[in-house]
Structure formats: structure tokens, C-alpha cells
């Protein structure tokens, strides 16, 4: 049983663990088998303040936009960041979270895209976000240059590139007045939940890693039947992983690792996994079982799980559960 868990639907209570690889697994195995090796290098060289709005969200927050330059071996990557920070509490711990639809949609988009900034601020956190496709295009044959093209002779998937970007976003946050990297949270939904887990496994500056609906190659177990599998994900998204990962399609039992070991690699830092009860493609029961299997590696309060009614979305409930876990 996870250290912290909300009430579970009946199907979750009946679920049993499949046969799993035992013991710890090093990051190199996950790099070689699934995500690819995240290269050394790529350092922040410049952060320019583009705009600052004081007293947004009924006076509770400041909204800042920056353009950051990251020097890579074969050129520079520029990222446009959006920050909401508490107007009064300073310095505030920061949630680093990539977005799918552009920075402005996280403020003014439809209900599925808007983030509950006022409640996040009220909980005492700042948020720094970047459009994930500024880091690496989500395309098996991209027409625009992403960060993977800026490193020579490296084989790493787009998920690893987005994870690299989360760490660079934390670099940016570290230099912004009113923010502190102490207690930093890496948070992601769906494919960006996969990236958050991989970032949390590699970057020990993230005190808490939050995965929401991350499914296959995220928090769910390969060896639990249900939802997306390796055959489906490597056919639809071959650019997310190393090419050799597709060799395990239909042969999950041959994998040298499973995702509970990725969760345990983050210990003793903390992990929180969120699921939607009806998010069948993400195999929410498999996500829960991964947390159960990883539980012994964590001290009390080190790993938690939450499932809510509904499907594949990052909701206000998910945000609030994650931040309550982080504060506990």
C-alpha cells in the first residue's frame, strides 16, 4: 500500500501485482532500453524579462514573461517562459510544468487547458511553464529544430528531451527573484507526466515529482495488462523513445525493468501519482500497482497516490491533491 492514498474504487482494491523484476534498477538501464541517454551540456546563458504584471489574480500574484537562452553544442535554444508567483510570500517554492497549448492557453484557454493559478498561488506555490514543443517538436519527422538536433551523436527520445527541458526550466527559476528551487516540484500530465518522472529520476533538485495520467512508459506497469502497450505507443509515437525500444512490442516480459523501479529510483525524494478512474488508455490500475510495488523503497509519506472520477485530463482536483501531498 502507498504511504499516502485516497479512497480507492473496488477494481483497484481487487487488483494484484503481476510478476515483476525485483530489486533496484539503475538509470543507465532505463536510458539504454527506453528513453535514451540525456547528454551532458546545455547551460543557461541569458534570461531577459519581457514583461511583468503586478497584482494579477485579484492582487494575489505577479505574472512574468521571460526569454531564456540555453547554449548547446551545436547552437542555442530559446525558451519563452510564463511565471505566476505569489505577490506577498517570498521566496516561493516553484512548480515546473510544461504545457501543451502555449503559455497563454494555460491562463485563458478553455476549461480543459486553464490551470487553477489562483488556488496554486493560495497554496503558496509559484508556477513556471513553457510550451513543450519549444523544447522538442512532437513529431517523428520535425520540420523545426529542437534540442535533440543541437547535440551531436546522441540517441535520445523526445520524452527525454522534454525531461531535459524541465531541468533547464528549474535553472531559469533559480535565478528569478521571489522564487526558490528549494522544494521544487516537477509536474506533468500524459506524455509530459512521462517526462516529469524521467526528470525526477535524473535531477535530484526536484524534491517532489508528480505524474498525472502518464500511463505506458510513465507510471503504469508494462506487465499489467490494460490500456496502451509498447506496440501501440511505439507505432504511434516512435520519436518518443530510442528506436530499439520497439523490439519489446508484445514481449513486455522480456524487458529488464518495469516502471515501479523508475519510481523507486526517485527515492528518498517524494513521488505522487494521479489517475483518472475512467482513463482506460493510461491503465490507472497499473499506475496504482506501480506505486504499491515501489512503496517499500520510500519512507513514510514519501510516495502517494490519488484517483478521481473522470478521464484523461489534468484537473483542478489533481493540482490540489498534488500540492497537498507536497506540503504534507
Active site residue 190: yes
DSSP bridge partners of 56: 61
CA gap 95, 187 in Å, rounded:
7
Question: For residue 187, which of 130, 242, 138 has the smallest C-alpha distance?
Answer: 130
Q: What is the dihedral of CA 14, 15, 19, 24, to 10 degrees?
A: -120
Angle between helices 191-202 and 259-266 (to 10 degrees): 50
CB-CB contact of 229 with 252 (8 Å): yes
Angle, alpha carbons 253-274-250 (nearest 5°) = 20
CA gap 184, 164 in Å, rounded:
15
3-state helix, strand, coil in the chain (%, to 5): 35, 25, 40
N-terminal to C-terminal alpha carbon distance within the chain: 18
- Considering the candidates 66, 84, 260, 312, report the single residue annotated as catalytic: 312
Q: What is the number of residues in the chain?
A: 328
DSSP string, 117-145: HHHHHHTT-EEEEEEHHHHS-SSSS-SS-
- Considering the candidates 25, 31, 190, 211, report the single residue annotated as catalytic: 190
Active site residue 84: no
DSSP bridge partners of 185: 95, 208
Question: For residue 121, which of 200, 174, 179 has the smallest C-alpha distance?
Answer: 179
CB-CB contact of 270 with 236 (8 Å): no
CA gap 279, 47 in Å, rounded:
39
Give catalytic residue positions: 190, 312
Amino acid at each position: 500500500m502507498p504511504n499516502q492514498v485516497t479512497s480507492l474504487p473496488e477494481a483497484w482494491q481487487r487488483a494484484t501485482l503481476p510478476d515483476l523484476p525485483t530489486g533496484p534498477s539503475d538509470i543507465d538501464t532505463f536510458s539504454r532500453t527506453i528513453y535514451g541517454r540525456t547528454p551532458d551540456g546545455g547551460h543557461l546563458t541569458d534570461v531577459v524579462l519581457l514583461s511583468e504584471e503586478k497584482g494579477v489574480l485579484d492582487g494575489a500574484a505577479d505574472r512574468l514573461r521571460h526569454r531564456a537562452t540555453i547554449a548547446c553544442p551545436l547552437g542555442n535554444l530559446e525558451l519563452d517562459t510564463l511565471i505566476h508567483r505569489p505577490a506577498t510570500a517570498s521566496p516561493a517554492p516553484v512548480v515546473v510544468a510544461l504545457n501543451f497549448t502555449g503559455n497563454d492557453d494555460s491562463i485563458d484557454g478553455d476549461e480543459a487547458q486553464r490551470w487553477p493559478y489562483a488556488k496554486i498561488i493560495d497554496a503558496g506555490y509559484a508556477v513556471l511553464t513553457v510550451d513543450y514543443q519549444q523544447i522538442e517538436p512532437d513529431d517523428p519527422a520535425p520540420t523545426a529544430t529542437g534540442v535533440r538536433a543541437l547535440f551531436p551523436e546522441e540517441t535520445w527520445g523526445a520524452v527525454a528531451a522534454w525531461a531535459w527541458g524541465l531541468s533547464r526550466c528549474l535553472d531559469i527559476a533559480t535565478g528569478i527573484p521571489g522564487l526558490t528551487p528549494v522544494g521544487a516540484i516537477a509536474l506533468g500530465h500524459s506524455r509530459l507526466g512521462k517526462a516529469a518522472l524521467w526528470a525526477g529520476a535524473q535531477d535530484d533538485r526536484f524534491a517532489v515529482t508528480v505524474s498525472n495520467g502518464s500511463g505506458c512508459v510513465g507510471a503504469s506497469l508494462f506487465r499489467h495488462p490494460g490500456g496502451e502497450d509498447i506496440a501501440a505507443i511505439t507505432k504511434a509515437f516512435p520519436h518518443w523513445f530510442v528506436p530499439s525500444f520497439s523490439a519489446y512490442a508484445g514481449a513486455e516480459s522480456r524487458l529488464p525493468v518495469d516502471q515501479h523501479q523508475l519510481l523507486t529510483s526517485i527515492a528518498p525524494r517524494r513521488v505522487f501519482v494521479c489517475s483518472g478512474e475512467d482513463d482506460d488508455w493510461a491503465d490507472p490500475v497499473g499506475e496504482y500497482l506501480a506505486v504499491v510495488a515501489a512503496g517499500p523503497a520510500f519512507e513514510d509519506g514519501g510516495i502517494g497516490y490519488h484517483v478521481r472520477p473522470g478521464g484523461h485530463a489534468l484537473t483542478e482536483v489533481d493540482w490540489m491533491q498534488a500540492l497537498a501531498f507536497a506540503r504534507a
